[in-house]
Amino acid sequence: MFDYTEWPSKRISDFKAHEGPINALRYNSTGQYLLTGGNDRIVKLWNSSTQTNIMCYKFHAYEILDLAIIADNSKFASCGGDRTILYWDVSTGKVISKFGNSSGGHSSSVSSISFNDEPEDIAGNLLVSGSYDTTVKFWDCRSSSNRCIQTITDSKDSVSQVEFKGSSVLVGSVDGNVRIYDIRNGQVITNYIGHAVTSVSYMNEPKRAGCFLSSSHDSIIRLIDVETGSLRQAFRGHRNANYRIFSSFAQNNTKIVSGSEDGFIYVWNVLNGELLNRISTLPLIRGDSLRDWGSKMLSTVVVHPGSQQMVNGSTDGKLIFYGL
């Protein structure tokens, strides 16, 4: 069990994992393994305890922008600058399906993907994707045709992130809106943020989440009520004005964690918005100057689902692991 009064802020290890920026990090459901993807067009599988590389997955023609893992951890999907989504078998390293291009796919980079998490018997069979082409598309992973089964065109600018939860899909867009779609009845709820949205995420709750997070280019992370659209809490202190910065719930929804353009990891109390921790990702290696590190800031951060470990990926291809 977690001791939620503590946070993994002590650097355990750091090493070069990719050539160029790391854009995506995903723990599997148990936290035993970690997937990473970057500008070098490679997805890598790591043992999170030993920080050792187990397998490399190579097929993409351009940078990898997002990863998604199905609930039983047997398969995952990757997407990126080549406008395609690849559906992989984890153990064999083979591509099962390729979505995009001639199958009614996206016309620009695929920025985000997410699997359905219910009903339990078909969890992981439906995939949603968002793109710089402003569209959201749905794909049936069981189909042999690999064709898009539905397209949503409400966004007026790039889609930054999508997330499935139950029968609803959360969509963040650079047009300054967060939209929630109910795929059962086709209803949509639009939440106006007013600034480019860089990431969205549902609260980690079974079935239907009561709140979601929205990060935007006014350097504010908002906790918003799903039903009413009202602002529950705002989290400030980090910098997010120019780039795609991710935020998420952590430690049983008691904390909010986010990267920042200033190279720090920020942690807040979810209830009162208090800034609890500001963790430097600057190098500990002698001879690596702050000037050199200016182009090596963190690009994404994730917290282990079952133990007090945290990892961030940087723009120079390094993985940094933290513990207590």
Which residue type is seen at 85? I
What pLDDT, on the 0 to 100 scale, is given for residue 263? 87
* Two structure tokens written together for 323: 């513990």
Among the listed residues 310, 130, 160, the one whose alpha carbon sits nearest the alpha carbon of residue 243: 160
Q: What is the pLDDT of residues 6-61, one digit of tens each?
A: 899 999 999 999 999 999 999 999 999 999 999 999 999 999 999 999 999 999 99
pTM summary value: 0.93
The answer, yes or no, to whether residue 161 has pLDDT greater than 70, is yes
Which residue is it, tokens 């990267």?
259
Q: Would you say 305 and 31 are in contact if contact means Cβ atoms under 8 Å apart?
A: yes
Among the listed residues 151, 61, 71, 73, the one whose alpha carbon sits nearest the alpha carbon of residue 109: 61
What pLDDT, on the 0 to 100 scale, is given for residue 286? 42
The answer, yes or no, to whether residue 293 has pLDDT greater than 80, is no
Q: What is the pLDDT of residues 98-150, one digit of tens each?
A: 998 776 899 999 999 999 987 665 667 899 999 999 999 999 999 888 999 99
What pLDDT, on the 0 to 100 scale, is given for residue 124? 76
| Domain boundaries defined on the chain | 10-323
Q: Would you say 84 and 60 are in contact if contact means Cβ atoms under 8 Å apart?
A: yes
Domain 10-323 has CATH 3.30.1180.20: no
